[in-house]
Structure 1
Amino acid sequence: METRAQEQKKLEEMLRQLVKESATRQDQAIQELRERQHMDMEEVRQMFVNLHASISSGRGHHSPANQRSEGNNAPRSQIFPRFTKIEFPRFDGEDLKGWLYRCEQFFEIDGTAEDAKVKLATIHLEGRALQWHQIFMKSRLTRAIPSWEEYISTLSTRFRSDLFDDPMAELKGLRQIGSVLEYQDKFDSLLNRVELSEEYAVSCFISGLKDEIQIPIRMFQPRTLQRALSLAKLQEVAIEGHSKNHKGGARVTTGNPPLLPTTCHGSNDFLSKSPRGARLSPA
């Protein structure tokens, strides 16, 4: 009996040892798996960091912007996904105002540091603009990079073609010659160069339209440019339809009235079409 009890005890001890070893190996395997997962995640994170650095260097992105964000501990507002490629606008001497506007939009989205703006802009100059930049930098008494405000001020003196223009006078004197859309294009181009209230802009827009378009529009007293433009287009279509219906002197009646009231010529059409010499007999 004692021998059997001893054997059973040995078996139980061996079983406990096996269970213990199995648990130890399982713990080790779990730990190794966690470490491997951590290394894989770190590898992936590093790949994204390298990719972002590669994209940033490719579009002229400078590290001072990142340093500024980290120093302030204030996260920037991300309008676009982190890895969206935003092309910096190029400038060859044409449309300076439009280029400066796009630059400011880029700086805001990118969070570009003040001391990096000029450097970033100059590597995207071409043609006459690049030639001017090289001469400008050589003529400076110092090799220090100018501030963005100083740079665009000097740049404007060279490339702005409207320094001595009077867009307000042009806007007030603008008159419609072609279609409403052609007039709108010229009007928008001038309006973009001045600061006007909506009310005054509407007044200028209507005043420049052709008489047969602006007079009916005034009856509706539009308060916004969009409303005035819509009415002008409708009146233009009504006039074109009216002209087609009266082409060749033959009046064609349609089931749809004009969208806006138009001046009707030939109000004595009925009398002119009455048989010559016809008399009205008493009833």
Structure 2
Amino acid sequence: MVQTRNSSEGGRSNAEQVTVQSDSIAAKLESMDSMKEDIAALKGDHSKGSFIGGDPRGWILKAEKYFRYYQIPDEEKVEIASMHLEGYALDLYSWLSDDHPLTFWKELVQAFNKNFGPADFQNPDEHLCNIKQTGLVYECRQELAKRSSRVSNWPKHCLLGVFLNGFKEEQKDYVRIHKP
């Protein structure tokens, strides 16, 4: 006897067959998503973890955490870090390496801080006290976090005073109500 679509396969109902097929499709889609992530990693998707230029402190902090976690030997740090450079940072590294190969992580950090960090003459305490609101409250909070990371031993009540002082007069009461 010839089976038709309407007859059940192996004693399964149509609903069971649909469930099995949909589970199979879902598993294949999951597998495809996983493969896409693996391919992106193999292609060297540099959108995460790359340093292009600008303030290097965050990137250096992440790199040092990576080095500690994976126990990277000192002689390999520059080589690994250089694979995560793009734009101006890659140009600077290339230019410095042509002249004199960078072999120590400390040298690379100094070069990035010198070329991308704040000016040497800029006093971090003065820079912190100079915060002025130009946009949203959130942006002012971000600027405080950025600038306060460069100073040390500031009591929290002083940081709060600097934070509140930087707001436009019409915003200060609104911010105080929320007890920052």
TM range (shorter): 0.5 to 0.7
- Post-superposition shift, 1:212? 5.8
Identity %: 24
Q: 1:183/1:159 Cα in 2 relative to 1: closer, same or farther (>3 Å)? A: closer
Q: Corresponding residue for 1:206?
A: 164
RMSD, aligned CA: 3.3
Q: Which amino acid aligns with 2:157?
A: E
- Post-superposition shift, 1:197? 2.5
Q: Corresponding residue for 1:153?
A: 110
Q: 1:210/1:123 Cα in 2 relative to 1: closer, same or farther (>3 Å)? A: closer
Q: Which amino acid aligns with 2:95?
A: I
Native 8 Å contact 1:96 1:156 kept in 2: yes
Q: TM-score scaled by structure 1?
A: 0.40
Equivalence map 1:56-75=2 (5 Å): none
Q: Corresponding residue for 1:39?
A: none
* Rg larger in structure: 1
- Residue aligned with 2:179, SS: helix
Equivalence map 1:143-222=2 (5 Å): 145-176=102-133, 178-195=135-152, 196-211=154-169, 214=172
Gaps of 5+ in 2: 1-41
Structure 1: distance between partners of 2:155 and 2:57: 21
Q: 1:59/1:192 Cα in 2 relative to 1: closer, same or farther (>3 Å)? A: farther
Q: Corresponding residue for 1:136?
A: 96
**Number of residue equivalences:** 136
Gaps of 5+ in 1: 1-57, 61-86, 218-227, 233-283
Q: Corresponding residue for 2:4?
A: none
- Post-superposition shift, 1:146? 2.1
Q: Which amino acid aligns with 1:201?
A: L
Q: Corresponding residue for 2:63?
A: 103
Q: Which amino acid aligns with 1:160?
A: G
Q: 1:229/1:149 Cα in 2 relative to 1: closer, same or farther (>3 Å)? A: farther
Which structure ranks higher in relative contact order (CA pairs < 8 Å, sequence separation ≥ 6)?
2
Q: Corresponding residue for 1:230?
A: 178
Q: Corresponding residue for 2:87?
A: 127
Structure 2: distance between partners of 1:59 and 1:117: 22
Q: Which amino acid aligns with 1:172?
A: C
Equivalence map 1:236-275=2 (5 Å): none
Cα deviation, 1:87-146, whole Å, max 9, x if unaligned, reads 982222233112111111211221211111111111222232222222212212xx6x52
Q: Corresponding residue for 2:49?
A: 89
Cα deviation, 1:206-229, whole Å, max 9, x if unaligned, reads 333344665798xxxxxxxxxx68
- Post-superposition shift, 1:185? 2.8
- Post-superposition shift, 1:187? 2.3
Q: 1:215/1:94 Cα in 2 relative to 1: closer, same or farther (>3 Å)? A: closer
